Each structure stands twice: as structure tokens, then as C-alpha cells.
Chains A and B, each alone.
Chain A
Amino acid sequence: MALEAISKQEIKSLIESYENDRRHALRIMQDMQRIYNYVPREGLEALAERFSCPVSSLYSLATFYRALSLKPKGKNVIKVCDGTACHIRGSANLIGSIGRELDIAPGETTEDGMFSLELVNCLGSCALAPVMVVNEKYYSKVSMGQLAGIFNKIREGEDQ
């Protein structure tokens, strides 16, 4: 996937929009994740400079929290809930089918950078199990037959 250039200025103004307090580290990195689809190295280093703390302590955070990733994710992140309710209602099959459909395993991104597949903890929508979320849209009681249609629609949306 073609990475949009990371603007140092943009990172700087993001960091400086928070007061210089270590406790905002997680939040700032979450913001970066939202903007860039990952926490870029430039961002991590700029943040360390701001807090006058070692890069290692922020790297430690970035690898600890699941909301953060150090590698770019796909344009469309498919989150498959693997909470217990979804699990016992067949989320494993769903994951397998998505994997076959897109040729990726959980944690991977398709070659064209279009989709990332993620297993996520309970989304609290147990009544609708198994649940899949793509770009904040919930798909409830997903059956395997629906998948191709859903992904094609997302692809078409991207083309427009």
C-alpha cells in the first residue's frame, strides 16, 4: 500500500495539542493510529523527545496495547469478534472463510493493502453473534455465503 508521506509538522502539532504530560502517551499514540493506520516510527521518536523519555518505554507501550500497531494496517480493517458468545456460535468458521476469501490469516493484510483481518475481543454484541465489524459497520449473524458480497461492495465503494 502506498504510504502517505508522514508529515513531521503534522505529528508535531498533534503531540503539542496535548499538555506535556507522560500520561497522554497512550492517547497520542491512539490518535496516530487513527490518522496513519499505525504508529509510525517518526511519531514514536517525536513523542519520546517531547516527554524526554527513552524511545524504549514508548515502544514497550506500543507493543503492549492491542489498539496500537507498529505496522500499517489495510485500508479496511475487518474485525471478527472472537468473544465467547461468537466463538461458540462459530466465529472460528467465519475467520476461516474470510481467510480463504481474501487469502490472509488473522493479523495479516492483503497484498493490495485493501483489507486487514483481525481477531478482536468481545465487542459486546453477543446477541448478534457471530459479529464482524468493517469500518465501524456491524455485520450481525454473518454467514459465510454473505462474505464475498460484503467485500465486493467495500471494494466498489473504494473505487468510487
Chain B
Amino acid sequence: MRRTVLVCCGTGCLASGSIEVAEALQKELAPDVIIHGVEDACFVKKTGCNGFCENGPIVRIMPDDISYYKVRAKDASAIAKSLETNEPVLRLLYRTGGKAVLSQRENPFYSPQIKIALRNIGEIDPADINDYISRGGYTALKQALGMEPQDIIAQVEASGLRGRGGAGFPTGTKWRYAAGYEPTPKYVIANGDEGDPGAFMDRSILEGDPHSVIEGMAICAIAIGSSTGFLYIRDEYSLALANIEKAIQDAEDAGFLGESIIGSSKSLKLSIVRGGGAFVCGESTALMASIEGRVGEPRAKYIRSVQRGIWDLPTVLNNVETFANIPVIIRDGAENFAKLGTEKSKGTKVFALVGKVKRTGLVEIPMGVTLRHLIFDIGGGVIDDMPFKAVQTGGPSGGVIPENMLDLPVDFDTLTEYGAMMGSGGMIVMDSTNCMVEVARYYTAFLADESCGRCTPCREGLRQMLMILTDICEGRGREGDIELLEEIGSTLVDASLCALGKSAPNPVLTTIRYFRSEYEAHIRDKVCEAGVCPELASFAVDPVKCTGCTLCELTCPVGAVSGKQKEIYTIDSKVCITCGACRQACRFDAVVAIPRRR
């Protein structure tokens, strides 16, 4: 029987060795064509990211819909054999609740998902334009060419689609504004400078389904009357860059891009711009400055980019995920899209569920589901069933959300009311071994380095906030520090020049709001209960739990752990650098953080 063996070759699976798996499978299945003929042979296809990266490399057998996880090259012969015998390879199946499941539909990580932006990823070979076309690709572009630009925009408006990069501005409105301005040429830009630490949906889309972004951009260009576009993509995303480059070439060759799109009078020339490595370039005006070959400093947005954007000309800049949604809206109708989600946040959103969560990966679900559903039902809860402490959402512009707020729906507006934001969809789960003050210090350090440094509140405010937070983490916190942090934070919110500065204090302000007692413990008692801040914690071995397995001794980088196999180990606090490596290594929870009282 003819089958397709889909081997996930997203960055995550590649890192786990999926190329070797694909090659081994190809070798095993090479004689298949000779034995069974083309009609009935099994073919290997390399796909984009399946999202469940932690369990990669992932291999899927279609049309049987059997998924194998953590596949090694040496498993290839077993998989090849299973295709002959029709007996699945049990040991490679995903297990949940003691039961092995065949299909992704039975896997709790996948079953609640509804895929729009990620519709093709993991199903198609991103390097093959025909794969994209065979799943309805470029039909929306054909439709759009037959429509009045106003009708395309109306359709996008009716869908309720809002910008997936985080700001949530209505996409249709943006297009309508840009279409309404006289000056030409106009520009279309896809923002693929995914900078939020802990988010990788744009990378996945660019790698796994580049044509969906190209098609979305082409439809936008037709709607606003543009014939030039740019894709600004992080330089670190080498696979995404390679795939999008090929896709642009293939689309041009097939007549979907370039002069006279599908024989029409419209044209679109797309070029790739490799990001320079600056988080602030995720901000639209800084990104445009960067494309112009200047330093990526934002400008005040009193005059919007739709009126005066790149080279002072009307520009529509949308996020990669936003563009990937467009073809579906045009093809299947705005109503179908608007059926999903909440009243003000329509459709689905891709989330990167990472950190201390059991099932890590990319998840696409309708907006409005609760954080609890996302983290505990789809994500399976906290690793090792540790106590949940917080989830950080929205990257450095977002905030942390504590346990008692997990029933909040995730959409553009709700989390913002609570000081956090959905942002681009990063969800970082933290457990009791994560220190909230240290997390705030981490984000502040990140932003202090990544700010463009142009305006006083952001540059000098972050400098002082970072100093104070470092003091607190290292035991030099003072009374009044918390209030001062809040005060500086409020100035950043009001007085900074751009969105980076205005949202920069969110991690600090939310950790203070929801975990004030941790700050107080650091400042007053000089204690880091989580055992993260080295100056304020130390480690000891719990003699009841220790099995003498030697793992802690082997892991310790400075030789502070000693003991004999099968006996209880001890940590020499004079040598210990409180890096916490032994605690992470211990499988029996026997290394405990004890506050270092002064």
C-alpha cells in the first residue's frame, strides 16, 4: 500500500538527529519502489516542525496516521518492517495514562488543537511548492486577484483578525488605512524577527510552511496596491532563511510572485532581509529603520507607519503568523474564522508552551481557552509534578501570572488587564524552584542590553532598575527598593518613546504585584526560598531521600559533593558555589535548597 513516511525536520527534531533518521528510513525504503512499483511504494518526506519538539525526532506514517516519537536511526528497520506487517512499532508510540496511542488525535498534546496558522506544518515538505498547492495553497491568491481590493480588506476586517505579533491591532483596519493613502510605492513587510525569548512560532511557520506567509503577503499587496515586500527574519534562523528563499524562488517560477501574478496585471517582488541581532527591531519602526540600513532605533508613532513607514511611504507591517492566517480567511471565508475565539479576539493563536512543563512545544488553539487548560490539560502540568508557581506570558513585554489566576481566558485583552499580556504567545511555566525576583532581574538585564538606548526613561530607568534588582538578588536590597522600582516602572510606562520602553517594566511590576513577599524575603530576611540566588541560598542533602546514586557528585562542577556509593552524600558549603546543578541532576528530590541565614 502506498504510504508517506513524514519525518519531522524542524530545528528541534534536527537537533535530536532527525536527518539521520530520515536518511536511514530512505535507505530502508529504497527497494520499495522496485518491489511494489511507484503506485504502492512508501516514500519518505521531510516536513516542518510538528510542535512536540521535546519528544522528537517525530515520524508519522500516513494515511495510517501513526506517530512515532524519539525515533533513532537504528529504529528505521523496525519502522520499515512495520509497514510490511501492518503492526505498529509499540515501543515508539506515545504513552498517556498507561496507554500507547497511535494517532495524534488521541494524544492529549494534539487533540484539543485546531490548526489554521500551522495547518500544513508537519504535513507537507516545505521545500516542495506542489505539496503546498495540493493542500489548497495559492487558491486564495487566485480568488483575491478576482476581487476588488476593498472586498479583500472587508473580508479581513470581517474575520476579526488581529496582529499576532502581540499588539493585537486589527489587521483589516491597518490594510484599509494603508490602501487609503495616496503616495506610492507602498510596501508590505513581514516581521519575522522573533525576539521574545521563549517563542518560536514564527520560526516554525517560516521553516515548515513558507508559502503560507508568501501567499498572505501577496494578498495584502493586492489589497493595498503594493508591488514590493520584505521579509525581515532573524539571522539565527538559518533553516527558516533557507526555506523561505527557496519558496520565493519557486513561487516566482510558478508565477505566484514577480511580474504579472498568475497572468494578472499585479506584481510583487519579495526580498529577504536578515536581522542584525537586535530585539528592538521587533518594534515596527525600528525594523523599518533596520531595513533602510540604519541603526534600529524606533521613532515616535504619532504618525503611523501605514501613512509614513519605510522610506516615509505607506507600509503595512504584519507578523509572520498574521500573514499565515490570511489565505485561510480568504479561501474559507471570514465567518468560518470568526466562529473561533472570543468576541474581541477571533480565531486561533499559536502558543509556545515551554519551561517547567511536561509536554513542551507549539500549540495552536482558539483564543479564549484558559491558562489552566493550556498548561495542565495540553501541557500535562509541571515537570516532576512540582508545585506550579507562575507562568510568564508575552516575553519581556509581558508579565508573570500566579496560580490563582490560571482560570483567566487567554486573549488579547484579558491578560493585559492584569499587567501581563498574551503578546506573541510565549508561555513559560515556572515551578517552586524558580525565583521571581531573579526572573525579574533576568528580563530587566535582557532589556537593558536590548533597549536601543535612545530615550532617557528606558535607558537610565532600566540601568537603575537592574542595579536595584541585582542588589536584591545578592543580598544588598534595602527598605524602599520595592516602592522605588514601582516608581521608576511607572515613569517607563508613561514617558518612554516606544513600546519596548513602555512595556519594559511589566516583568518587574507583575512580579512585585503577585509575589511581593518573595521580594520582601530577599530584602528583609536575605533569603531566596527558591534556592536560586547564590548569595541567599545554600544546598543540603536530605538524608531520608538520598539513595547514594552518585549522580550529584558526578554533576558537581567544583567537587563540593562527597560520599560513597549507596551511602548518604554531603555537600561542603565552603566549596559549594550554589549553582544548583546537583539539585537538577538528582532524581530523588534529595537535594534541597535551604535559606542561607546571615
Contact = CB atoms under 8 A, between A and B. Distances in A.
A127 B235 contact: no
A124 B557 contact: no
B79 interface: no
Interface string B339-376: 00000000000001011100011000000000000000
Interface string A96-128: 110010000000000000000000111111111
A87 to B, nearest CB: 6
A96 B15 contact: no
A126 B293 contact: no
A64 B203 CA distance: 23
B53 interface: yes
A144 B555 contact: yes
A92 B579 contact: yes
Contact of A126 (B200, B273, B276, B450): B200
Given A84-B392, A85-B428, A93-B580, A127 B198 contact: no
A27 interface: yes
B199 interface: yes
B442 A124 contact: no
A66 B276 contact: yes
Interface string B179-196: 000000000000000111
B589 interface: no
A128 B293 contact: no
B14 interface: yes
A30 B235 contact: yes
A88 B356 contact: yes
B54 A25 contact: no
B16 interface: yes
A9 interface: no
Given A90-B584, A122-B199, A145-B554, A131 B15 contact: yes
B491 to A, nearest CB: 25
A31 B6 CA distance: 35
B513 to A, nearest CB: 19
Contacts of B452: 64
Contacts of A138: 11, 14-15
A135 to B, nearest CB: 12
A84 B196 CA distance: 9
Contacts of B277: 65-68, 121
A76 to B, nearest CB: 17
Most buried by A among B354, B356, B580: B354
Interface in B441-467: 442-443, 446, 450, 452
A14 interface: no
B309 interface: no
Nearest to B453: A64
A85 B198 contact: yes
Interface string B290-318: 11111110000000000000000000000
A26 interface: yes
B236 interface: yes
Contacts of A125: 11-12, 15, 53, 200
Contacts of B296: 64-65
Contact of B278 (A65, A83, A145): A65
Interface string B254-292: 000000000000000000011111110000000000111
A136 interface: yes
Nearest to B583: A90
A148 to B, nearest CB: 11
A83 B198 contact: yes
Contacts of A50: none
B439 interface: yes
B386 interface: no
Contacts of B200: 122, 124-126
A152 to B, nearest CB: 17
B238 interface: yes
B197 interface: yes
Contacts of B503: none
Nearest to B433: A88
Contacts of A124: 11, 194, 199-200, 203-204, 236-237
Nearest to B450: A121
A129 B354 contact: yes
Nearest to A144: B557
Nearest to B203: A124
A122 B196 contact: yes
A23 B361 contact: no
4 A-B pairs closest in CB distance:
A124-B200, A65-B276, A138-B15, A66-B277
17 contacts: A21-B293, A22-B292, A26-B273, A27-B273, A64-B278, A64-B452, A84-B197, A84-B426, A84-B443, A88-B434, A93-B584, A124-B200, A125-B11, A126-B198, A126-B352, A126-B354, A126-B360
Interface of B: 11-12, 14-16, 52-54, 56, 194-200, 203-204, 235-238, 273-279, 290-296, 352, 354-356, 360-361, 392, 395, 426, 428, 430, 434, 439, 442-443, 446, 450, 452, 554-555, 557, 577, 579-581, 584-585
